[in-house]
Structure 1
Amino acid sequence: MKKSILALTLLTSLNAFATEDEQSNVTFSLTAGYVFGGDTVGELIYEDNDSESIKAGQGIILGGGLSYEFNSKWAVDVSANYHTDTATAKNGDLSFERLAFNVIPYYGINDSFSVGLGLGLHTNVELSNDFGSDVEFSNETAFISSLRYHFETISADLELRHTRVEYSVDRIGSSSFSSYDVTVDGNNTGLLFHWKF
């Protein structure tokens, strides 16, 4: 009886260790960053003649995701991010917004740095205009190159990311422009901070 209890305890312990080891391959993260670039798609002019431009690649990125480590060298990062560049006034706003779903495989150069090449799908791409017609863009595929620095003292990464993407105008207000070849450059480069848990 004692041998059976000991064997059962040992098997349960081994299963717990295996489960813990398997779960340690997955890391969740929250992301915040700022990127620069892209064509100017709108401009807000204030009463004092100051102005603020909206660009198709520029702005704040907020999101989250997870990373799965295959081994000590290879990992894949999957994330969903909200990206916007906004100009605000008392009587309205002008903003270029999109949702980006990214998949980036990474290769670990060493304990501090990883490089990645991946793809993104940009959806709900829109220039929201409180002063005129909204402009909707078609969903687009983005190409992403990334260099990540892994902090030693905190569970976080700092990423230098470059994204190449071009947006095609789909609608302006209620009018369809999908048959016209009207595009804007959304290429951008910037820094993103990933807090891992």
Structure 2
Amino acid sequence: MNKNIAIAAVAWAAASSVPAQVLVKPMVGLGITAGGDTIATVYYQNSNVDESRVHAGALFALHGGIELQFTSRVSTQFLVGYHVDQVRASNATVRWSRTPVEALGHYYLTDWFRLGGGARYSANARLHASGVASNTIPNTSFKASVGGVVEGEFFPYRSVGIKVRYVNERFKVNSSFSNETLDGSHGGVYVGYYF
């Protein structure tokens, strides 16, 4: 309880210390991504589809956070998200997921287009298999990863942005007995809404 009160007090103090001329905008976004190593392949029986793959850079990403607009050309974003790829069958599920935290800076080249990038910290990275898939695919956790983001964003409307981005990140198995590295680098297209 005291920890929650302390966190709320720090967040309130940080928000109240932002200068009045800085515009603070909450935002949410949804993206589709592709790339990275193939983590698992699931084979189907009695189906029109032979197999499906789980990729380290795929597939769906959600995020939310705040944007600080310092001038008409310069802004920063602080985002927290959830990034997941999953294959599901009637008797098995294989899921790869992580929780990314991003700190990004942007520069507007025009009123409707900006370029930016920054750092991405991905925690809670794990591969989870259930059902019959757990017989051949081990549940595995990975160490947190620090990577980079480069993106461009187009604004068809003032409150709607469409991002095209590339993320470079790698994950190491959370074990002292393995040096296995997984490439989670990916490209993606995101749609964001700015309140």
TM over 0.5: yes
- Is 1:145 the counterpart of 2:150? The answer is yes
Contact persistence 2:21–2:70 (CA under 8 A): no
The 1-side partners of 2:21 and 2:79 are apart by 18
* Aligned pairs for 1:66-145 within 5 A: 66-130=66-130, 131-132=133-134, 133-145=138-150
Corresponding residue of 1:16: none
Corresponding residue of 1:193: 191
- Is 1:41 the counterpart of 2:46? The answer is no
Q: Secondary structure at the match of 2:173?
A: strand
Contact persistence 2:38–2:54 (CA under 8 A): yes
- Is 1:166 the counterpart of 2:170? The answer is yes
Cα shift at 1:144: 0.3
**Larger of the two Rg values belongs to structure:** 1
Cα shift at 1:24: 6.8
Corresponding residue of 1:174: none
Contact persistence 2:78–2:101 (CA under 8 A): yes
CA offset digits 1:6-51 (Å, max 9, x no partner): xxxxxxxxxxxxxxx9387011111111011000000111113711
Give the AA of the match of 1:162: Y
RMSD: 1.6
* Aligned pairs for 1:175-194 within 5 A: 177-194=175-192
Give the AA of the match of 2:41: E
The 2-side partners of 1:48 and 1:38 are apart by 29
Give the AA of the match of 1:68: L
TM-score by length of 2: 0.83
Contact persistence 2:22–2:70 (CA under 8 A): no
Q: Secondary structure at the match of 2:20?
A: helix
The 2-side partners of 1:40 and 1:48 are apart by 23
Q: Secondary structure at the match of 1:72?
A: coil
Give the AA of the match of 1:96: W
Question: Percent of pairs identical after alignment?
Answer: 23
Structure 2 alignment gaps of length 5 or more: 1-18
Give the count of matched residue pairs: 170
Runs of at least 4 residues off by over 4 Å: none
The 2-side partners of 1:157 and 1:27 are apart by 13
